[in-house]
Amino acid sequence: MLKKNLLTTVAAIAMAATTALPAHAEVTIMYAEWLSSLVEPGIKNFEAATGETVNAIKLPGQGYDQRIALDLSAGTAADVIQMDSFMVSELASAGYLHPLNEQGAGWDQFQYYQPGLLEVASYEGKVYGLPTDTDVRMLWYDKSNFEKAGIAVPWEPKSWADVLDAAQKLKDAGVQYFFQLPAGTKQGEASTMQGFYMLLLGADTPEGDRNRLLNRETGQWIGDSPAIRRTLEFYKKVYGDMGMPADLNYAADPGVAVREVLANDQLGIHASGSWEDACLWDCNGVNLPTREERDAMVGWTPWPGSGEPGAKATTNISGGWTIGVNAKAANPDLAFQLVTTIFDVENFKAWTLANHRMAVRTDISDSPEYMEDAYLAKATALAADTTGRDTVPGYQTVSALVQQMTADILDGAEVEDVVQEYHDALVDEFGEDKVITYE
């Protein structure tokens, strides 16, 4: 079922991705519409400075990752492309991306990027993308519904049991979407990152990477483990036993759907990330309530660990988006100039602050304006104990399989069957010697 669904998804995307790029554009760029407020002022500044015309292709956020991967493989992608950091190693290893180290060395702002974040956008020692931001993940909650359910705020759960107890109280108080835990293939990487991996990291001891998808020492994917089973059992508890409605995971735009239920006072707990300080209202930071109004409406708390012996007390995993250059760009130098104009400190800093994004450069993170933002300061502190995705070739396939596991749980499948299917799909994809099981 997993393999069949993946092939069906790719085929559907290939049929949808038929829009050809204009043939004569001097410089082309593809980006997701939610990044417009960073990209579009940069394009305007670039055109004014160079006299060149940029052909901008703005795409919906839903399915954006798959579209970029398909266009790069087909040779139809733009000169400059926005991409999720987890894609970089796979796309670079396939020869689709242009390395930026040499050009970056000649740009006076390259020095301010945090080395660890450049590493996330690198492959075999070469940088292939400049990060737009980084993030942390947490549990957001509606304070009015917590009051209705008799749950004290600030909410500080210490284990999965505490989270489930709060979810049950919210359900009993009549909150329709008492615990929105991202799941299924429609949610894409959100299912993997905001849901599955945040649980997985706290499901078992970190020793030997027992709480991950990949044993990073041996390079083997973990096909079965207590952590994977506990994580899926948590999903089954929420969507099966407790009866959390699954429809937000199937919405045309899950982000819009979540904003609607929050506005309608129907949301309890929402597993998401640091960007929600803006995105729960407007991801472009345009129509935001005041700081005081937002703080009165919602709160957030770190994800707790499971409470199992040896498991972490809290968990976090960080990612982020990047902008890079196509290996087939007609003029790589001009394409890189567009990238650096987008990331010029005046444009980049304004966007970071307006959208309450976690800074990736010290010339922004050390600025007085950033430091005085209480939300950013508190959220950034979570990054002190975070980890990253298994950004090695093959991760995209594994992430898609993880999303399918959660989709199968939504469909009522048993954990035993879902794990077996996942294990077998990993073996089919990578070979028996590249897959291990933990008892």
DSSP string, 373-430: -HHHHHHHHGGGG-EE---STTHHHHHHHHHHHHHHHHTT--HHHHHHHHHHHHHHHH
Binned at pLDDT 50, 70 and 90, residue 7 comes out as very low
Token pair of 60, please? Answer: 């919906």
Does residue 6 register a pLDDT over 50? no
177 pLDDT more than 90: yes
For 284-315, the pLDDT digits (tens) are 778 889 999 999 999 999 999 999 999 999 99
For 124-150, what is the mean pLDDT? 96
- Flag whether pLDDT at 270 surpasses 60: yes
Give one word for 188, left, alpha or beta, with left for phi > 0 and alpha for psi -120 to 50: left
CB 85, CB 317: distance < 8 Å: no
More confidently predicted of 372 and 146: 146
Count how many Cα atoms sit within 13 Å of the Cα of residue 146 in the half-sphere of its side chain: 20
Give the span between the Cα atoms of 49 and 43, in whole angstroms. Answer: 10
Token pair of 236, please?
């089954």
Please check the confidence at residue 232 and state whether its pLDDT lies above 50. Answer: yes
pLDDT at residue 64 tops 70: yes
Instruction: List the alpha helices (DSSP H) in 245-313.
Output: 254-263, 276-279, 291-297
> Per-residue pLDDT tens for 9-39?
433 433 444 344 444 448 999 999 999 999 9
> Is the model more confident about 307 or about 379?
307
Task: Give me the pLDDT at residue 8, please.
Answer: 39
DSSP letters, 188-240, are: THHIIIIIIIHHHTTTS--GGGTTSSEETTTTEEEEE-HHHHHHHHHHHIIII
**Amino acid at residue number 46:** F
- Give the per-residue pLDDT at 11: 39
Question: Residue 377, class by beta-carbon neighbours within 10 Å (0-12 exposed, 13-18 middle, 19+ buried)?
Answer: exposed
Indicate the DSSP class of residue 241. Answer: I
pLDDT at 395: 93
> Given a cut of 70, is residue 137 above it in pLDDT?
yes
Query: 157 preceded by cis ω (within 30°)?
Result: no
Q: What is the mean pLDDT of residues 209-229?
A: 97
400 pLDDT tier (thresholds 50, 70, 90) = very high
pLDDT in the model for residue 317 = 93
Q: Is residue 315 packed enough to be buried (19+ CB in 10 Å), middle (13-18) or exposed (0-12)?
A: buried
Share of the chain above pLDDT 90, in %: 79
pLDDT computed for residue 86 by the predictor: 87
Going by pLDDT thresholds of 50, 70 and 90, the confidence category of residue 4 is very low
* Digit-coded pLDDT (tens) for 147-157: 999 999 999 99
Exposed e or buried b per residue across 130-140, where buried means at least 16 C-beta atoms within 10 angstroms of its C-beta? bbbbbbbbbbb
Q: What is the pLDDT of residue 63?
A: 85
Give the pLDDT score at 16: 41
**In whole numbers, what is the pLDDT of the chain averaged over residues?**
92
Sequence-ordered list of residues with C-beta below 8 angstroms from that of 427, at least 6 positions apart, any chain: 223, 435
Mean pLDDT of all residues in 231-256: 96
Over residues 249-264, the mean pLDDT reads 95
Phi, psi of 109 (to 5 degrees): -100, -5
Mean pLDDT of 251-257: 92
CB contact set of 157 (below 8 Å; sequence gap of 6+): 139, 163, 166, 301, 304
Task: Give the per-residue pLDDT at 13.
Answer: 38
Of 225, 279, 249, 218, the residue nearest 438 (C-alpha): 225
Average pLDDT of the residues in 331-341: 97
The whole-angstrom separation of Cα 404 and Cα 196 is: 11
